[in-house]
Structure 1
Amino acid sequence: MTTTVPAAAEAADRRRWTALAVVLTATFMDLVDATIVNIAIPSIQRDTGATFSAVQWVTAGYALAFAIGLITGGRLGDIYGRKKLFLLGMGGFTVASALCGLAVSPGMLVGARVLQGAMAALMVPQVLAIIHVSFPARERGKVFGMFGAVIGLGAVCGPLIGALLTEGDLFGLAWRPIFLINLPVGIAGILLGRRFIGESKAPAALRLDLVGTALATVGLLLILYPLTQGRESGWPVWGFVSMAAGPLVLAVFVRYERAKTRKDGSPLVELSLFRVKTFAAGVGVQLTFGAASGLFFLVWTLHMQLGLGWGPLHAGLTGVPFSVACSAAAGMSVQKLVPRFGRKVLQAGALIMFSGALLYIWEAGHYGTALQSWQMAPAMVLLGGGMGLIVAPITNSVLSEVPAQHSGSASGIFNTTGQLGMAMGLGLSSVAFFEVVGGPGETGGAAAGAALGAGFIDATANALWWVSGGLVLVFGLLFLLPRRVRTQSAAAEVAEATSAAEAGAAVDETGKEQPVLVS
């Protein structure tokens, strides 16, 4: 017995690190797909004859389906098993990617992207939940640092990968490989996930809250749909009525969830999570930061391709300094800086991003359409480095005190908040950017013409001022987080390590070792 347990524990340890690689790859795949389309918009328009409105929904449809389904996806993982939902989501995501790559019309492409977002909503919430229950508290800082680095890389590598695949025109398929590349990755992830990811679910028996799901879906849709479609429709009255009704429906949702908790203890959202100070404060930061980031990435892409007239590959390569700085800062923040300086690291990240946005504003105004990639690089390093200091440690801060049995729900809320913020940023672009530049036409030709004028430069600067304001708000909200994330005492860590070693593996009916997840 004394020799078997350490060997089993060592095998379980190898399995969970392989499982981590699988779920982080899935996270990267999702993040890339959320941003990869922007760089290929001109190619999609030429090939399919899509109007600007249709192309907008290729990106917005994904975000809407993703945001609306995340909370439900997290709870489904708690109920039916996180491994099962992760593999189901990855399989559906892979199928939807194939449909996107084979789309023969703009309508089919939009529908496939909506399906892709819905499948991502099943897959992504399980990632943080699997990490939360697979790794003890003493290791989560390092693991969440890896997670943050993947987020930073995925956010910028999407346009770069999209540029390489689009300009490469593989097999004469133009833009289609940006989706078809997911097929081998998804198949490999499913095969490895089946073998190495251990199953986990909430200890208490839970039921799916169908009424809560419907109320949350309607409430979010009432807010997100007019934010996305309002400008294309000329900001009609129904849009404002819808956005006003959304919070009312969400208020009804909160009241229902409280009643559901008292009735059977199986609500869609564990409202008790918001009594955890770190979680509530982190959600506020995530919402604001998501809005600022969503607005920035959209404006940045349009500024490079339409305003400066750069090709997809040129624009994608310009993001490399951002990506490298973000990845490096994410690793340093968790491993070296946060343990020593705590909350100040995240606040420094907000201030560094703020300085990068101000530098970008100055460059856009000073150089105009003559701006070069090397001149943009310092601003990109500041923006990327600041983002890395925030995205890596914020996850551990938000989920560190969440009860393990609600980790799926907490993950769903956390990710939904970020997506809602991104949707808000896209909605704000109508006021902060398109209203100033005059708005692109349906075919994109008017946009290309307007981009070369002074109005486009003014629009870019105006939008970046909005981004800067959001970063100032993020800086203030970070004061609501604790100075330092609480850590376990040495005795507790020893006890947890001993428990993990003793329960490191179990044997199923086939005689194969299966990891036992210890939270």
Structure 2
Amino acid sequence: MFTDVKKAFLWLGFLAFFSVLNEMVFNVVLPDIAKDLGISPSLANWVNTSFMLSFAIGSITYGTISDKYGVKKLLVFGLLVYSGGSLLGVLAHSNFFAVIAARFIQGVGASAVPALIMVIVARYVKLEDRGKAFGIIGSLVAMGEGIGPALGGTVAHYVQWPFLFLIPMLTLFTIPFFLKELPNESTKGERMDIWGLALLSCGIVTFTIYTTQYNWLYLAISFALFAGCALYIHKVEQPFIEPRLFLNRKFILGVLTGCILLGTVAGCISMIPYMMRDVHQLSASMIGWVIFPGTMSVMLFGIVGGSLVDKRGTTFVLWLGSLFIVASFLIISLFADRTPRLVSGMLILMFGGLSFVKTVISTSVADALGPKEIGAGMGFLSFACFLAEGLGMAIVGGLLTKHILEYPLLSTIQNAKAYLYSNLLLVFIVTILIGATIYTVAYSRRGKRI
């Protein structure tokens, strides 16, 4: 137990805030990075994609090995790696591959925070204080998502984007507290499935490279690695991913729905800065403030979404959230070359819909799992959705670079620079509707609420 619960909440929330902040802070400066390093949007988006991939893989890995190595050691290790990646990014910011490596290393370290915070609260916070702990942490996470774009744009505009790498180093101040307060846990002898993790990770990375390079060799290699992983986890005694989860139809379709919807929205969010720069000639600072109202609205919509799920059911709330997202995409698509204020207003609707979707997916997937499957199943959901967000960013970067959708389609668009973005939003609409339909097929029951 923590001797000072209030101080523990403060430091845990501080960590949660900065782990999420770093997901968002680079988003608005991607056009600046592309310009400064002389690279295409497909490559620039790897600044975020590399972070999300390692963050996803790490988030499930730390939770899996926490019983073996202890929370204190893993948390300190993660924070040191997080800061090490940040230092590399600052020192080698003029080299694109060094920046990608720095972001990947940051993701490896930062992923320890959300994975281990849940373990810390469950193990060391008193039962009567846990609700308060999760509430504070959740609020600070939402705040980090909201402040990230505005902070990133402001720093890039008034200083330089490489200094964004320094922000996560503030987490080093939490190490003395956790070294003092967390007990030295005895290690256990559970075996970690390194080979399963390696096969899946390499398959994901090569598939992501395919989505930006469109080289069929990468696609073939990724499928071979996925097939190898599928065969391997059925043979090993303690697999990285429990095979029986894939026999649960509701679980798989719920995860698939989450991946489609969250990945599509993440791709749209990564596209907005390019659209604001190309069509409206906004600076990074102004782009951050265009996105800011939408990200801050997540807190309010999250509360409303949870209440609606209890009253109206998950299918209703998922379609309501999906229609919010579709409406925002459609209006931006129709008027992409009009005032940025319209885009900012529609992003409030989009982030609100996203909040509804996240609430439904978490609730539905949890309900589809048995008591002994909750830990592994929810961990896999988080892992899959983080990966989908990274893939969404990579795919959109590739489409922006290839310009295959750059032609006049909607008569409302007068600026030729807006054609690509307007048409891409129409593709997003179709994808969102597909995801919502999959959920309906899997979870809707006549006369019942899931």
Q: TM over 0.5: same fold?
A: yes
Deviation, structure 1 residue 282: 4.7
- Residue equivalent to 2:220: 241
Counterpart among 347, 350, 358 of residue 380 in structure 1: 347
- For residues 286-301 of structure 1, the aligned pairs below 5 Å read 286-301=258-273
- Residue equivalent to 1:194: 179
- Residue equivalent to 2:190: 206
Q: Which secondary structure does the structure 2 equivalent of 1:98 belong to?
A: helix
**Structure 1 residues 175-226: Cα deviation after superposition (integer angstroms, max 9, x where no partner):** 1221112222x11222333344567799x74122233233333333343332
Q: Which amino acid aligns with 1:352?
A: G
Deviation, structure 1 residue 417: 0.5
User: C-alpha distance in 2, partners of 1:452/1:194?
Assistant: 57
Counterpart among 215, 234, 237 of residue 255 in structure 1: 234
Deviation, structure 1 residue 470: 4.8
Please tell me whether the aligned partners of residues 322 and 381 of structure 1 are also in contact (alpha carbons under 8 angstroms): yes
- For residues 373-452 of structure 1, the aligned pairs below 5 Å read 373=341, 375-392=342-359, 394-395=361-362, 398=365, 407=375, 409-410=376-377, 412-429=379-396, 435-436=402-403, 452=416
User: C-alpha distance in 1, partners of 2:392/2:210?
Assistant: 13
Please tell me whether the aligned partners of residues 350 and 386 of structure 1 are also in contact (alpha carbons under 8 angstroms): no
Counterpart among 305, 312, 327 of residue 358 in structure 1: 327
User: C-alpha distance in 2, partners of 1:178/1:194?
Assistant: 27
- For residues 117-266 of structure 1, the aligned pairs below 5 Å read 117-134=107-124, 149-169=139-159, 174-184=160-170, 186-197=171-182, 205-227=189-211, 229-230=212-213, 235-256=214-235, 259-260=236-237, 266=238
How many pairs does the alignment contain?
Answer: 439
Counterparts in 2 of 1:196 and 1:243: CA distance versus 1, 3 Å: same
Counterpart among 27, 51, 55 of residue 62 in structure 1: 51
Q: Which amino acid aligns with 1:425?
A: G
Deviation, structure 1 residue 304: 2.0
Counterparts in 2 of 1:389 and 1:436: CA distance versus 1, 3 Å: same
Please tell me whether the aligned partners of residues 250 and 443 of structure 2 are also in contact (alpha carbons under 8 angstroms): no
Q: Which amino acid aligns with 2:151?
A: I
Is structure 2 residue 99 aligned with structure 1 residue 109?
A: yes
- Residue equivalent to 2:411: none
- Residue equivalent to 2:410: none
Please tell me whether the aligned partners of residues 279 and 402 of structure 1 are also in contact (alpha carbons under 8 angstroms): no
Please tell me whether the aligned partners of residues 245 and 251 of structure 2 are also in contact (alpha carbons under 8 angstroms): yes
Please tell me whether the aligned partners of residues 208 and 391 of structure 2 are also in contact (alpha carbons under 8 angstroms): yes
Q: Which secondary structure does the structure 2 equivalent of 1:269 belong to?
A: coil
Is structure 2 residue 54 aligned with structure 1 residue 38?
A: no
Question: Which shows bigger deviation, 140-149 or 150-159?
Answer: 140-149
User: C-alpha distance in 2, partners of 1:402/1:88?
Assistant: 33
Deviation, structure 1 residue 311: 1.7
Counterparts in 2 of 1:466 and 1:127: CA distance versus 1, 3 Å: farther
Q: Which secondary structure does the structure 1 equivalent of 2:111 belong to?
A: helix
User: C-alpha distance in 2, partners of 1:90/1:295?
Assistant: 28
Q: Which secondary structure does the structure 2 equivalent of 1:302 belong to?
A: helix
Counterpart among 370, 381, 387 of residue 338 in structure 2: 370
- For residues 51-90 of structure 1, the aligned pairs below 5 Å read 54-90=43-79
User: C-alpha distance in 2, partners of 1:349/1:135?
Assistant: 33
Q: Which amino acid aligns with 1:187?
A: L
- Residue equivalent to 1:95: 84
Q: Which secondary structure does the structure 1 equivalent of 2:173 belong to?
A: helix
Q: Which secondary structure does the structure 2 equivalent of 1:176 belong to?
A: helix
Q: Which amino acid aligns with 2:98?
A: M
User: C-alpha distance in 2, partners of 1:224/1:57?
Assistant: 10
Query: How does the TM-score come out when normalised to structure 2?
Result: 0.81
**Structure 1 residues 327-383: Cα deviation after superposition (integer angstroms, max 9, x where no partner):** 11223444x444x42743x74254234234324423432x3422331x234422222
**Structure 1 residues 448-505: Cα deviation after superposition (integer angstroms, max 9, x where no partner):** xx98535234334334324532552465277279946xxxxxxxxxxxxxxxxxxxxx
Q: Which amino acid aligns with 2:75?
A: F
Deviation, structure 1 residue 128: 3.0
User: C-alpha distance in 2, partners of 1:395/1:141?
Assistant: 17
Q: Which secondary structure does the structure 1 equivalent of 2:192 belong to?
A: coil
Counterparts in 2 of 1:311 and 1:347: CA distance versus 1, 3 Å: farther
User: C-alpha distance in 1, partners of 2:196/2:179?
Assistant: 31
**Structure 1 residues 143-202: Cα deviation after superposition (integer angstroms, max 9, x where no partner):** 656555555444443221100111121xxxx11221112222x11222333344567799
Deviation, structure 1 residue 303: 2.0
Counterparts in 2 of 1:300 and 1:471: CA distance versus 1, 3 Å: farther
User: C-alpha distance in 1, partners of 2:386/2:348?
Assistant: 24
**Structure 1 residues 225-263: Cα deviation after superposition (integer angstroms, max 9, x where no partner):** 322x32xxxx2221332343243123213313xx41xxx
Percent identical across equivalent pairs?
19
- Residue equivalent to 1:341: 311
CA RMSD of aligned residues (A): 3.8
Deviation, structure 1 residue 118: 1.9
User: C-alpha distance in 1, partners of 2:48/2:12?
Assistant: 23
Deviation, structure 1 residue 105: 2.4
Q: Which amino acid aligns with 2:193?
A: D
User: C-alpha distance in 2, partners of 1:18/1:271?
Assistant: 41
Is structure 2 residue 234 aligned with structure 1 residue 284?
A: no
Counterpart among 261, 276, 293 of residue 304 in structure 1: 276
Q: Which amino acid aligns with 1:255?
A: H
User: C-alpha distance in 1, partners of 2:148/2:195?
Assistant: 36
Q: Which secondary structure does the structure 2 equivalent of 1:181 belong to?
A: helix
Counterparts in 2 of 1:354 and 1:399: CA distance versus 1, 3 Å: same
Please tell me whether the aligned partners of residues 360 and 376 of structure 1 are also in contact (alpha carbons under 8 angstroms): no
Identify unmatched segments of 5+ residues in structure 1: 1-8, 261-265, 440-449, 485-519
Is structure 2 residue 408 aligned with structure 1 residue 455?
A: no
Please tell me whether the aligned partners of residues 199 and 226 of structure 2 are also in contact (alpha carbons under 8 angstroms): no
Q: Which amino acid aligns with 2:195?
A: V
User: C-alpha distance in 1, partners of 2:58/2:33?
Assistant: 27
Please tell me whether the aligned partners of residues 22 and 148 of structure 2 are also in contact (alpha carbons under 8 angstroms): yes
